[in-house]
Structure 1
Amino acid sequence: MIINNFEEYDDPTLYDKENETYLPELPFLLKWASTTQGTIIDLACGTGRLTIPLAQNGCELIGVDIHEGMLSEAKQKTVNLDLPIKWLKQDCTKLKLMAKSSLIYSVGNSFQHFLTNASQDGFLSSVNNHLEIGGTFIFNTRFPSVEELLQPSTEEYWRTYTDRDTLHTVDLYTISHYDALSQLQHYTTIRKYKNNDGQILDEKSTKISLRYVFPKEMERMLLNNGFEIVDVFQDWKETAVTNESYELIYVCKKST
């Protein structure tokens, strides 16, 4: 059993350097927020990647995460912004928010961090308990395609970005291993920091494990936890799902 799966998030500043400007979900969430009254709940909010821009667009939010460092970074980023956000440190499988909402979301494929059947059910049950009858729950997860699951277990190039502080180039590589019995993909992410001449100055690696869920399995899980699936898309532009999809975006309604 994996006890600590937070290594990828133990450097919140690095997380923001690599992810803060990536906001494909924002227009989709803003569309749903525009028809929602009251507080919106962002689960596994991290450093507020979506919480903050939604609040800047006039939404009132509760941002919830279990990782103290990520939440501290989120609070620091908003300390002087006077935004309608309440940050809470809680386990999303055992939520006690003293509030209900008509719109709850969890993005960034955070659903894959719940590695066991019990934690998945605990998370969905917690969401249901904090959602108004007829309320909407939106979340995404990577599509368990053959290409996704059977990635080579050798070091593979992923992407490159420029460090905003040092202006050094950072090449990202991954090594993955899929355990079919547990439906867990075990990832190692390797970061190679280069100067302007292409020389490697430093190298760091982090590990994370992610749970994959097949579509029919997800249907049954959501139904058993009191949700009706309204739509499933393969991207935040609402494109229909195909066998070549990379991710699944679920729009669900609380039915019971």
Structure 2
Amino acid sequence: MSYGKFAYVYDYLMSDVPYEEWMTFTLARLQEHQITPQKVLDLACGTGEMSCRFAKEGWSVTGVDLSEEMLMVAQEKSTKQKLSLSLYQQNMSELEGLGAYDLITIYCDSLNYITNEESIQSTFQRVYEHLDNEGLFIFDVHTPYKVNSIFMGNTFTERDDLVSFIWDCLPGEWPLSVEHDLTFFALEESGQYERFDEIHVQRTFTSERYQEWLKAVGFEVKDIYYDFYHNEAFDQAERMFFVCQKRRT
């Protein structure tokens, strides 16, 4: 899916997202596994929030996203911060030709936008092929609890002078899937508000299914974390993190 106009209000709407927690989590996992990455691949990089943070660590960072609009924002952001990012428009389930990396991430529940099981397995395979031996693959997804109990059937609203939205969460086509029906009102330079609509579909799976697919590709699942720092599942966890390592071949 492509974010369209949403790309240009994304950072404003996501200003409260705890990107620093993703960064802290990443650094902790790298330290645990005694990896100092030289090359990092940030899949579904969006507007480059994590890519820029990675680059500030002195790593060589490649960002990939399906949305041309998101990549344009990421390029503008990295230029303003005087950071060097290599940015490519690709579908991560068809990833090709980008070399090998010490660390590959798919953060901010971006994998949940892939609703087809075969495409998820293809993504894992492509990641495996782009990872150095003993390199780390880290990603996060929504828990089934979040989809069923926090999203499903609920409406969220935000009223602001610059951007307001109505966000309806509707049952998706598949089990553990949700359709996010979003209506935005964004203030234009003319002083008028422009309305635009987006539909985003997400799907998640149980931790057991993800582990099955990862192991089939050849990954060793080192750890699973819940809500960043809990290494044991609990009933109301909203996010699962998978820390995987490519076995030496």
TM-score by length of 2: 0.84
- Pairwise CA distance, 1:68: 0.9
Residue aligning to 1:77: 77
Conserved? CA contact 2:143–2:237, under 8 Å = yes
Residue aligning to 2:10: 15
- Pairwise CA distance, 1:220: 0.8
- Pairwise CA distance, 1:171: 4.9
Q: Secondary structure at the match of 2:42?
A: strand
The answer as to 2:238 corresponding to 1:246 is yes
Residue aligning to 1:134: 134
Matches within 5 A, 1:121-200: 121-145=121-145, 148-149=147-148, 151=151, 153=153, 156-157=155-156, 160=158, 162=160, 168=161, 170-179=163-172, 181=174, 183-191=176-184
1:207 is aligned with what amino acid?
Answer: I
1:83 is aligned with what amino acid?
Answer: L
Residue aligning to 1:197: none
Task: Please give the per-residue CA displacement for 1:43-99, whole angstroms capped at 9, x wherever unaligned.
Answer: 110110110122123222111112111111111122254424211222211222341
CA distance in structure 2 between the aligned counterparts of 1:221 and 1:116, rounded to whole angstroms: 13
- Pairwise CA distance, 1:120: 0.6
Q: Secondary structure at the match of 2:26?
A: helix
Residue aligning to 1:198: none
Change (3 A) 1:208 1:138: same
Conserved? CA contact 1:59–1:84, under 8 Å = no
Task: Please give the per-residue CA displacement for 1:188-224, whole angstroms capped at 9, x wherever unaligned.
Answer: 1234679xxxxxx665432110111111111111111
Change (3 A) 1:242 1:180: farther
Change (3 A) 1:180 1:215: farther
- Pairwise CA distance, 1:184: 2.6
Conserved? CA contact 1:144–1:212, under 8 Å = yes
Q: Count how many residue pairs are aligned between Structure 1 and Structure 2.
A: 238
Percent identity, please: 21
Residue aligning to 2:68: 68
CA distance in structure 2 between the aligned counterparts of 1:18 and 1:181, rounded to whole angstroms: 28
Conserved? CA contact 1:33–1:59, under 8 Å = no
Residue aligning to 1:52: 52
TM-score by length of 1: 0.81
Residue aligning to 2:190: none
1:136 is aligned with what amino acid?
Answer: L
Residue aligning to 1:165: none
Where is the helix percentage greater, Structure 1 or Structure 2? 2
- Pairwise CA distance, 1:148: 2.7
- Pairwise CA distance, 1:9: 4.7
Aligned CA RMSD, in angstroms, stands at: 2.6
Change (3 A) 1:32 1:61: farther
CA distance in structure 1 between the aligned counterparts of 2:10 and 2:118, rounded to whole angstroms: 28
Q: Which runs of 5+ in 2 are unaligned?
A: 188-192
Match of 2:22 among 14, 25, 47: 25
